[in-house]
Amino acid sequence: RSVEHAYSQEGGLAVLYGNIALDGCVVKTAGVDESIHVFEGNAKIFESQDSAVRGILADEVKAGDIVIIRYEGPKGGPGMQEMLYPTSYLKSKGLGKDCALLTDGRFSGGTSGLSIGHASPEAAAG
**43-75 as b/e, with b when 16 or more CB fall inside 10 Å?**
ebebebbeebbebbeeeebeeebbbbbbbbbbb
| Active-site choice (2, 35, 51, 108) | 108
- Select from 125, 53, 58 the least CA-distant residue to 82: 53
47 to each of 3, 34, 121, how far by Cα in Å?
Answer: 41, 29, 15
Give me the count of residues in the chain.
126
Please say if 2 is a catalytic residue. no
Kindly list the catalytic residues. Answer: 108
